[in-house]
Structure formats: C-alpha cells, structure tokens
Amino acid sequence: MDKLTRKQFDILCAYAESGEAMTQRDLEKITGHSLGTVNKAVKDLNEAGFITDGKISDGGYAALEPFKVKRAIFIAAGFGSRLVPITLNTPKPLVRVLGTRIIDRLIDACLKVGIEEIYIVRGYLAEQFDQLLYKYPMIKFLENPVYNEANNISSALIANELLSNAYVFEADLLISNPDIIKKYHYTSDFLAIKKDRTDDWCFTVKDGIITEEKVGGTDCWQMVGISFWSNEDGAKLSKDIADVYASPGGKERYWEQVPLVYRKQNYKVEISECFEDDIVEIDTFNELKAIDKSYDV
C-alpha cells in the first residue's frame, strides 16, 4: 500500500488511540465516516496487514510513523500586558491557575502522546522559565532578543528551522481537555471552535480548509492558538516567515498570518475542531479571577 488515504488514516488512528478491538459501528461513531466507508477502509487495512484480529498491528503503527508529531514549540516571549498586575513579575504562561502553571497543562498534554522534543521561545522575564526544568528536564529554550520591539512573528523566526512535523502553541492557553492534542496528523491544521458569532480572531472555512483569517464574524470558526504543521509545510514556513519578517511592516505581523494571509497561496490548512469546554485563553485579570477565586482579593 502506498501512502494511507485520509479515510484509512482516520480509521488507523482510531485503532491506535483505542489500543483495543473495535466494531465497525464504533469506528463509524469515532471517525464520522459512513459505515460503508469504514467497511472498505477496514478491509483494505486488513489486507495490508495494518490491522490484525481487530487491533492495530506493528505494521499499522509503522504506517502511521510518517504522520507522527516530532516536536512542540511554545511561543512564550510576550509581556502578557492584559493580565497586569499578575504579569508584572511573572510571565503569563507561568501564572498559576487553580494551583497549576498554565503552560504545565499544555506540556503534560504533549508528553501524554509521546511528544518529548519541546522548545520554548522566551523573552520577557526569560530566566523565570528555568523553573520548568525541575519538572521537565527535556525542555530546550530559544531566546528571542527582540520580543519587546516586534510581534510574535519574531518568535516564529527564532524557531523557523523546527516547524516541520511540529505543533506550535501559544503558551498562555488554559487547556482542560488534553485529548485535543493528537499523536498523529494527516496534514497541517489549526484548532478552532465553531461559532455562530464572535468578536475574536476567527476563520472562514470552505470544505474544511481555512480561506480567510479575520477579526470577528458570523458562521465562522474561532481561532485557538494551537496548530500543527506537516513536514512539507514546515519547510515552506521556514522560508516564508523569514521573507515576511524582512518585508516592510513585517515585524508587526502575527506569525500565523504568514501561512493564512501573506503567503496563503502556498498552504492548505485544515480545521481541527475543538469545543468551548476544551480550552480557554485568559485575556484579562478579571477573567482570571472568574476562574480562580484565589485572585479575587
């Protein structure tokens, strides 16, 4: 069998995540594919030796290996000015919410699916991130010396040689459902929440592909600051981020505007759906107090 089709990939991932034998009805429910599609994919995967006795085989895991996430990059250099006064002395990703640092939940979600190559791009109060090494000795730090004079595209530029087969995280997102972080990805995608209306950054989507990034809209997908970039797209991003950064006004861009706005002709980025209860960005001190009453003093 050549490269897995998308449907075969979805079925094989379901087996890999379960680790147990599953009925085709189970697979229909998990993947959203029709029973007929599931039947055919399972037949093909059985014939290829990727499924044996209703479970994924060693050959199946080998077939998924090219789709495995290799690393995670955390963009964590900014001031977190909207969370003042807490961030006057603490970088936002290190702020504790209900007793746990915000970034810890994201790192733990990565480790849960076997992503152990982890980079943090730091800038503001950079030395404070060293405390993470006691719990996460595998972390490597990348220094952003211009975080105070450029937007987060400068952090992406620091990490631009590492973007293939990689997650990119905004490091200040409070995650409550670690299962939204996946071990395998078929193609580049951005986490997003389906919305009837939002005033936040959002996407227009057609046939599952992001066609526009904008602020505010109706019948759209609200952006969550977590994305995955395939091997091919990561290689393109390495060049495109550098080109946009060097262009007039480039330092003021958000990094994701490179593949979604300024060089969007080079990419087809899918939506990966998540939900309101899965993750939240704490933008203001009042929002922090609403979640963690210990700050409401």
DSSP calls for the chain:
--SPPHHHHHHHHHHHHH-S---HHHHHHHH---HHHHHHHHHHHHHTTSEETTEE-HHHHHHHGGGB--EEEEEE-S--GGGTTGGGTS-GGG-EETTEEHHHHHHHHHHHTT--EEEEEE-TTGGGGGGGGGT-TT-EEEE-TTTTTS-THHHHHHTTTS-TTEEEEETTEEES-GGGS-SB-SS-EEEEEEEEEEEEEEEEEETTEEEEEEEEEEEEEEEEEEEEE-HHHHHHHHHHHHHHHHSTTGGGS-TTHIIIIITGGG--PEEEE--TTTEEE--SHHHHHHH-GGG--
**Residue 255 in tokens:** 């990094």
- Name the more confident of 102 and 52: 102
pLDDT higher than 70, residue 25:
yes
What is the per-residue pLDDT across 43-100, written as a single tens digit (0 to 9) for each? 999 999 999 888 899 999 999 999 999 999 999 999 877 788 888 899 999 999 999 9
Among the listed ranges 74-88, 201-215, 234-248, 250-264, which one has the minimum average pLDDT value? 74-88
- Name the more confident of 282 and 120: 120
Q: 280: pLDDT confidence band, cut at 50, 70 and 90? A: confident
Among the listed ranges 70-84, 159-173, 174-188, 260-274, which one has the minimum average pLDDT value? 70-84
Q: Please, which residues have CB within 8 angstroms of residue 40's CB and are 6 or more apart in sequence? A: none
pTM: 0.93
Report pLDDT for 1: 62
Report pLDDT for 257: 96
pLDDT higher than 90, residue 284:
no
Average of per-residue pLDDT values in the chain:
93
Report pLDDT for 120: 98
- Name the more confident of 86 and 223: 223
Q: What does residue 122 show for φ and ψ, rounded to 5 degrees?
A: -120, 160
What interhelical angle do 35-47 and 6-18 show, nearest 10? 80
Asked if 289 contacts 86 with a C-beta cutoff of 8 angstroms, the reply is no
For range 268-282, the mean pLDDT: 93
- Name the more confident of 37 and 115: 115
What is the per-residue pLDDT across 113-150, written as a single tens digit (0 to 9) for each? 999 999 999 999 999 999 999 999 999 999 999 999 99
- Name the more confident of 18 and 237: 237
Quote the CA–CA distance of 223 and 259 in Å, as a whole number.
14
Q: Percent of the chain having pLDDT more than 90?
A: 75
Report pLDDT for 26: 83
